[in-house]
Amino acid sequence: MLLLQLIINGIQVGALYGLTAVGFSLIFGATKIFHFAHGASFAISAYVFYYLYAVLLVWWPFAILAACILVVLFGVVLDRYVYGPIQSADGSFFTIFVGSFGVAVVIQNLIGTVFGRGFISVPSALSRSVETLPGLYVAPTAGIAVVTAVVCFVALQLFLGRTNIGIALRALSESPALVRTFGLNPKAVSTCAFALGSLLVVPAAVLTSMTSGLNAAIGGRVMLISVAATIVGGVGSLRGAACAGLLLGIAENLALWRFDPQWSEAVTFLILFAFIVLRPSGFFGRVVTS
Amino acid sequence: MTDALISVDNLRVGYGGRVVLDDISLQIRKNEVLCLVGHNGAGKSTLMNALFGVVTRQGGEISVDGQRLHQPEPKKMAALGIGLVPEGRGIFPGLTVDEIFQLAMWATGVPQRERPERIEWVMSILPRIKTFHARRAGTLSGGQQQMVSIARALLSRPRCLLMDEPSIGLAPKLFQDLLQPIRQLQQQLGLSILLVEQNVKEAFKISDRVLVMRSGAIIHETSPEALADNKVLMQFY
Ligand SMILES: Nc1ncnc2c1ncn2[C@@H]1O[C@H](COP(=O)(O)OP(=O)(O)O)[C@@H](O)[C@H]1O
Ligand SMILES: [Mg+2]
């Protein structure tokens, strides 16, 4: 029963990991920008929701809406006013990474200063576990997490497949120069990638704040998971990132069967290294040949 | 000259500090096929890209219908009736042909209600696209991809088509098959075409005028007949 419990916990956590990783993978795939501050987006939306809902007692849809607006703004402003200037001045992948890393550190410290560095969580009846089977405790949030993740992922696939902006995002991931030749501004399409990728973080951040809780340093952990899931799933594959996020969540929880919780990051790294060594192209990735 | 569709005066283009085109002047006349030849790296693609606004010019003037353009941009150029078939694969391998067409029409601002009609029109010019329009462009042969790239440029109903080495990677027979409908269309609609081609034998067959480029400058203007003898052409390379 413990094993089943761990798997269910793993699926709940993994669904949210998957969603966050898909956001990162979408941005990285379309723009080739290593958006390290994606973790900061997660922290921002979680803390905005926490502050509005748990502290100011704002009605939850408004709290979520506010988190959405702020996180999209954060992503778009970062793309326009941090990555954009770096790209036009120098364009190096590494310089952008360092810039993004810097922003992530600033946000983490800002959140630490405003909200403290301690652990917070949003109390909610939805995260109260119910004994579903003898010895098996499941909270409604587990179901909500899985359903939300599936709905968001399907909606994203439809968006990318059916809408003009979705098609443009896929085109941008293949050739920004050709996007320009077609008559679009690649930078504007890139901004859409940031808006959409950042938005995907909100449900995961909100649900995490209600279930496992978080602290100001959550961004680093989110980033590790997102990068690992992107690589394990195969760079450029959103489906891969989603599956890998789920896998990482389940593996992390299964490890609790035998190991202490502080080993969970080690499990992430172990899976990451195993994939880098054994299957560098990931689940769904194409082997890159040059 | 009054029959010039596009006029380029003293155009200068460079990448970073390096000047690639210096003081280029030329005209693309209405209803002509103008062939541009020159060695690799002469600046033919740079000229086309500057004309279409994909590359920013550093100096000179570009006019369409005698109107000076402040800053050419692909979307604006498409609206003025100019289409670019770029060098290399002008397609997105992961998108289907239908998606490529949809993206192109959205990007250039073709009104929604005109879109089906435009697609029907290009499919009537290049009917073979009908057999593979639902496939991902990356799975198509080189000839099919080039056909899609040309069709995509035609979607904006251009009066002038800029084609950058459409024969690259194609068997000569395939290239002829591709040029024929373009030639017909050109004569039917009075299209202007600026054609950059290495395969001069085929290109000259449909050309009215030839410009020879060397190291960023136009060094010679002539008729295709005068260059038909290879030795004459070779002296310009
Ligand atoms: N994007 C670019 N950045 C820097 N230099 C370029 C770029 N594109 C072309 N060049 C340079 O400009 C010159 C002309 O190139 P190009 O216009 O492609 O010539 P062609 O099409 O006649 O072969 C070449 O020396 C090439 O190296
Ligand atoms: Mg060229």
pLDDT digits (tens, 9 = 90+) for B99-128: 999 999 999 999 999 999 999 999 999 999
> Ligand 2 center to residue A27 CA distance, Å?
31
Q: Any bridge partners for residue B210, and if so which?
A: B35, B222
What would the 3-class secondary structure string for chain A be?
CHHHHHHHHHHHHHHHHHHHHHHHHHHHHHHCCCCCCHHHHHHHHHHHHHHHHHHCCCCHHHHHHHHHHHHHHHHHHHHHHHHHHHHHHCCCHHHHHHHHHHHHHHHHHHHHHHHCCCCECCCCHHHCCEEEECCEEECHHHHHHHHHHHHHHHHHHHHHHHCHHHHHHHHHHHCHHHHHHCCCCHHHHHHHHHHHHHHCHHHHHHHHHHCCCECCCHHHHHHHHHHHHHHHHCCCCHHHHHHHHHHHHHHHHHHCCCCCHHHHHHHHHHHHHHHHHHCCCCCCCCCCCC
pLDDT interval class at B236 (50, 70, 90)? low
Distance CA A21, CA A246 (A): 10
- Other beta carbons less than 10 A from residue A10's beta carbon: 22
CA of A34 to the centre of ligand 1 (A): 29
Rounded Cα–Cα distance for residues A94 and A89 (Å): 13
A183:B107 CB<8 A: yes
- Yes or no: say if B216 and B222 are a contact pair by the CB < 8 Å rule: no
Closest chain A CA to residue B51? A181
Taking 80 as the threshold, does the pLDDT of residue B84 lie above it?
yes
pLDDT for B202 beyond 60 = yes
A55 burial level (CB within 10 Å; 0-12, 13-18, 19+): exposed
Question: When comparing pLDDT for B170 and A68, which is higher?
Answer: A68
Give the CA distances from residue A249 to residues A15, A136, A266, in Å, rounded to whole numbers and listed in that order: 8, 18, 13
| Residue B81 touches partner A, C-beta closer than 8 Å | no
Residues of A in contact with B95 (CB under 8 A): 167, 170-171, 174
Atom of ligand 1 nearest to the CA of B49: 17
Q: Are A216 and A108 in contact (CB under 8 A)?
A: yes
Per-residue tokens: B54: 């994909």
What residues have their beta carbon closer than 5 A to ion ligand 2? B 45, 87
Residue corresponding to tokens 């002047």: B25
- Contacts for B88 with CB less than 8 Å, ≥ 6 apart: B168
Retrieve residue A216's tokens: 């100001």
Q: Tell me phi and psi for residue A279, to 5 degrees.
A: -145, 75
- State the average pLDDT over residues B12-23: 89
Nearest residue (CA) to ligand 1, atom 1: B15
Inter-chain Cβ pairs, chain A and chain B, closer than 8 A:
53
Q: What is the pLDDT of residue A288?
A: 44
Closest ligand 1 atom to residue B87 Cα is 21
Q: Give the number of the atom of ligand 1 that is nearest the alpha carbon of residue B213.
A: 22
* pLDDT tops 70 at residue B231: no
How near does any CA of chain B get to the CA of A244, in Å?
22
**Which bound ligand lies closest to the C-alpha atom of B47?**
1
Residue B92 half-sphere exposure, CB side, CA atoms within 13 Å? 28
Alpha-helix runs per DSSP H in B8-164? 44-52, 74-79, 97-107, 115-125, 142-154
SS3 B166: coil
| Residue B237: per-residue pLDDT | 67
- In Å, how far is B53's CA from the nearest CA of chain A? 8
Q: From the alpha carbon of B55, which atom of ligand 1 is closest?
A: 1
Quote the minimal CA–CA distance from B75 to chain A in Å: 4
Q: For residue B101, give both structure tokens.
A: 């067409």
Q: Quick count: other Cβ atoms within 10 Å of Cβ A234?
A: 24
Q: Residue B107 and residue A177: Cβ atoms within 8 Å?
A: no
The rounded Å distance from CA B175 to ligand 2 centre is: 17
End-to-end CA distance of chain A: 49
Contact A217, A265 (CB under 8 A): no
Q: Write down the pLDDT at residue B12.
A: 93
Mutate to test the pocket of ligand 1, among B18, B19, B20 (most ligand atoms within 8 A of CB): B20
Chunked into runs of 10 residues, chain A (290 residues) has average pLDDT values of: 86 93 95 93 95 92 96 96 86 87 93 90 81 79 91 96 96 95 95 96 94 88 91 88 92 84 81 81 58
Pairing, β A130-133 against β A136-138: antiparallel
Between B16 and A24, where is the model more confident? A24
Nearest residue to A270 (alpha-carbon basis) of A239, A248, A238: A248
User: What residues contact residue B188 under an 8 Å CB cut-off, 6+ apart?
Assistant: none
Q: In degrees, to the nearest 5, what angle opens at C-alpha B8 toward C-alphas B211 and B214? A: 35
Residue A112, CA distances (Å) to A213, A219, B103 in order: 15, 12, 44
| Alpha carbons B160 and B26: distance in angstroms, whole number | 15
Q: Which of B74, B93, B94 sits opposite A182 (nearest CB)?
A: B74
Query: What is the DSSP pairing of strand B209-214 with strand B33-38?
Result: parallel
Residues on chain A touching B92 (C-beta within 8 angstroms): 170-171, 174-175, 178
Return the half-sphere exposure (C-beta side, CA atoms, 13 A cut-off) of residue B219: 15
Whether B232 has a pLDDT exceeding 70, the answer reads: no
Please give, rounded to a whole number of angstroms, the shortest distance from the CA of B231 to a CA of chain A.
36
Residue with CA closest to ligand 1 atom 7: B15
Q: What is the spatial distance between Cα A26 and Cα A157, in angstroms, rounded to a whole number?
A: 11
> Which amino acid is located at A124 in the chain?
S
Q: How far is CA A82 from the centre of its chain?
A: 20
pLDDT digits (tens, 9 = 90+) for B150-160: 999 999 999 99
* A184 interfacial to chain B (CB closer than 8 Å): yes
Ligand nearest, relative to CA of residue B212: 1
Q: Do A182 and B54 touch (CB under 8 A)?
A: no
A166 Cα to chain B: minimum distance (Å): 10
Ligand 1 centre distance from Cα of residue A1 (Å): 66
**Which residues lie below 8 Å from residue A114, measured CB to CB, with a gap of 6+?**
none
Mean pLDDT of chain B: 90
pTM listed for this prediction: 0.91
Q: What ipTM was reported for this prediction?
A: 0.92
Taking the CA of B88 as reference, the closest ligand is 2
Residue whose token pair is 């040309």: B150
d(CA A251, CA B219): 68
- Distance, CA of A127 to CA of A114 (rounded, Å): 26
Going by the DSSP 8-state scheme, the letter that residue B199 receives in this structure is -
Any residues with CB less than 8 A from the CB of A20 and at least 6 apart, and which?
A38, A42, A200, A201, A204, A222, A225, A226, A245
In this complex, is the C-beta atom of B92 within 8 Å of any C-beta atom belonging to chain A?
A: yes
